[in-house]
Amino acid sequence: MCGIIGINSNKSVSASIINSLKKLEYRGYDSAGIATLHAGSINEVKSEGRVDNLEKNSVVQNMVGTIGIGHVRWATHGLPNSINAHPHSSQNVSVVHNGIIENSTLLKKFLVSKGHKFKSQTDTEVIVHLITENLKTENIINSITKTLKSLHGSFALGIIFKDQPDLIIGARRGSPLAVGYGPNENYLGSDSYALKSMTNKITYLSDGEFCVIKKDHVEFFNEDGIKINKKVLELSSEEEKYDKGDYKHFMAKEIEEQPTTLKNGIKEYLDTSNNDINIFNFPWKINEISTITLIGCGTAYHSCLMAKYWFEELTTLNVNVDIASEFRYRKNRFKKDTLYVFVSQSGETADTYAALSLCKSKEMKTCSVVNVIESSIARDSEFVLPIHCGIEIGVASTKAFLGQILILYLLALKLGFLRKDLKRELFNKKLKDLKELPDLVQQTLSIDNKIQTISKTFNDAKGSMFLGRGFSYPIALEGALKLKELSYIHAEGYPAGEMKHGPLALIEEGMPVVVLAPRDDYYKKTISNMQEVIARGAKVLLITNKSKDEIISENIWETIEVETTGADLLPFLLTVPLQKLAYYSALKKGYDIDKPRNLAKSVTVE
């Protein structure tokens, strides 16, 4: 998704801006651009596609200027071409923008009536002209305050001015933005990750705030243009490594890293000497909570759904699961005895963040399960459970999914135990099983050859289905999501028991159907559902766990057996072949696996 970089320095900034934009590439984008200020004029270069295209441009290679802004764009308003790429500039002002301006059509009408000419189809260009218009009568601070008040929607902005050789403005509402501090230079970035290569001293802007970045100091203002003080945070100075190593794609590497993700999570939260789960500083008394509401988007939503099954199995709590974009606009009944849990890898997903803000405005108990601990969701929730899986670059979430479900499983176990829903003996047994999980996932990873062959059938098909019941149902949804997002094959995840209520009509001769039927309490029921699809011509890939008992069905096209463990941990193992299936399908099709079309890693617009 869109990303912003700004640098105000006493040396040339274009190369550093390009390098920082490369750090933002993992977010998914379709065009890039840069503007620098030199000798009283703004020079702007934009290009379609990757930052590489921008870097190769001869104008960029010779670009001078000690102050500049750069952007990677993920199209919302207007085609993904170089005209719509950011920055957008008037004669006086140049702007980069993340987010969506909801009243851009009205503002544009007003600005056109004042004689402003527009070049692009974007909503961003209205900001440029609005500032230019306001500058006719106001000073910089007042023109920014006035402009921001006229905008509806969400934004993170970086702005430079033709007549201001030592000034970048940053402004935030809804979309994340941070300031970084360096020696004789200061920075603006939509992502602390991009700033980390230049500094570990960061200040995050809160909603409604803006800042003035000069070479030697930074000033902060609230939405009324009144100066405020902000804290400088020191992030860990270790820059996380994120090279692909010997892997062709980040996704392949991240799938293989999953045993480490689990080991890290277990090491962080399991107290092996006391047979306990450490959830330090949990801020609420256990009897204050009788309901858990889990909220997320996409894969993180599937983690929430997975957790529902575990919370219901291991505790007597009431459990709700919600998609953030639905939750935030519904007429919810907020209850004081509910713990609202927000699940997000990036911690910046706009809908999840809005759902959190809504709960906070109602003074609810909020907890987040995130990977990026400096993120907006982590910073704004009352209590954070980090997943410790390291940076995830592939747009399709893999290791973060296993990391999220591990933490949610631990939370369910701990609450079940504290509430006395779960007896000590069973609690101990589950902790013992957990310790073995990373090795079992490791063994399950060695199924590549079989999956590679199987993936061909999926690529040749018009569509496919993924079926599961109970603990396996959220994993079926996740498997279908992975296949569709990476290989662009239509894939539908469904509860196996629902097939005869409609979707069975889709089954035709040769259609590949994945059936998740581990040997748990749902096994026989799922096998019956599987027979119903086989009878109608489906080519079934059965994924189950190893067992001494034979599989009780015939005419199965292919079978994959994952390792064996307790029923509630089998979802971890079932996930692995589905991730690999999606990976190999996309690989065979030659698609861009780490950056699938139309998608972004961090979805900062609603």
297 a catalytic residue: no
601 a catalytic residue: yes
Q: What is the DSSP string of 67-116?
A: EEEEEEE--SSS-SSTTTSSPEE-SSEEEEEEEEETTHHHHHHHHHHTT-
Residue of 191, 485, 594, 606 that binds ligand F6R (CB under 6 A):
485
The partner residues of 44 in beta bridges, in order of sequence, read 35
- Which member of 2, 304, 359, 389 is catalytic? 2
Name the nearest CA neighbour of 176 among 375, 429, 449.
375
Residue of 145, 397, 526, 579 that binds ligand F6R (CB under 6 A):
397
Instruction: Give yes or no for residue 9 binding ligand F6R (CB under 6 A).
Output: no
Q: Which residue, 215 or 399, is less far from ligand F6R as judged by CB?
A: 399
Instruction: Give yes or no for residue 264 binding ligand F6R (CB under 6 A).
Output: no
Instruction: Give yes or no for residue 575 binding ligand F6R (CB under 6 A).
Output: no
In one-letter notation, the amino acid at residue 594 is D
CB of 555 to ligand F6R, least distance (A): 32
Scanning 118-126, 241-249, 342-350, 552-560 for contacts with ligand F6R by CB under 6 A, the matching segment is: 342-350
Instruction: Give the Cα separation of 533 and 567 in Å (integer).
Output: 25
Q: Which residue, 393 or 507, is less far from ligand F6R as judged by CB?
A: 393
CB of 400 to ligand F6R, least distance (A): 7
Instruction: Give the Cα separation of 534 and 525 in Å (integer).
Output: 14
Scanning 66-74, 293-301, 467-475, 564-572 for contacts with ligand F6R by CB under 6 A, the matching segment is: 293-301
End-to-end CA distance of the chain: give it in Å, rounded.
Answer: 12
What x-and-dash track marks residues 123-152 binding ligand F6R by CB under 6 A? ------------------------------
Strands 318-323 and 276-277: unpaired
Instruction: Give yes or no for residue 368 binding ligand F6R (CB under 6 A).
Output: no
Name the nearest CA neighbour of 476 among 463, 462, 461, 464.
464
Residue of 345, 444, 472, 526 that binds ligand F6R (CB under 6 A):
345
Scanning 160-168, 310-318, 338-346, 408-416 for contacts with ligand F6R by CB under 6 A, the matching segment is: 338-346
Neighbouring C-alpha atoms within 13 Å toward the C-beta of 333: 3
- State the residue number with the nearest CB to ligand F6R: 298
- State both tokens at 300: 């993180």
Instruction: Give yes or no for residue 545 binding ligand F6R (CB under 6 A).
Output: no
Instruction: Give the Cα separation of 478 and 574 in Å (integer).
Output: 11
Residue of 63, 300, 437, 538 that binds ligand F6R (CB under 6 A):
300
Name the nearest CA neighbour of 398 among 470, 311, 300, 321.
300
Instruction: Give the Cα separation of 232 and 446 in Å (integer).
Output: 46
CB of 368 to ligand F6R, least distance (A): 10
Instruction: Give yes or no for residue 298 binding ligand F6R (CB under 6 A).
Output: yes
Instruction: Give the Cα separation of 540 and 510 in Å (integer).
Output: 9
Q: Which 401-440 residues touch ligand F6R, going by CB under 6 A?
A: none
**Contact call for residues 556 and 535 (beta carbons, < 8 A):** no
In one-letter notation, the amino acid at residue 407 is I
Scanning 162-170, 185-193, 339-347, 522-530 for contacts with ligand F6R by CB under 6 A, the matching segment is: 339-347
Strands 93-101 and 383-386: unpaired
Q: Catalytic positions, please?
A: 2, 601
By CB under 6 A, name the binding residues for ligand F6R. Answer: 297-300, 344-346, 349, 352, 396-397, 481, 485, 602-603
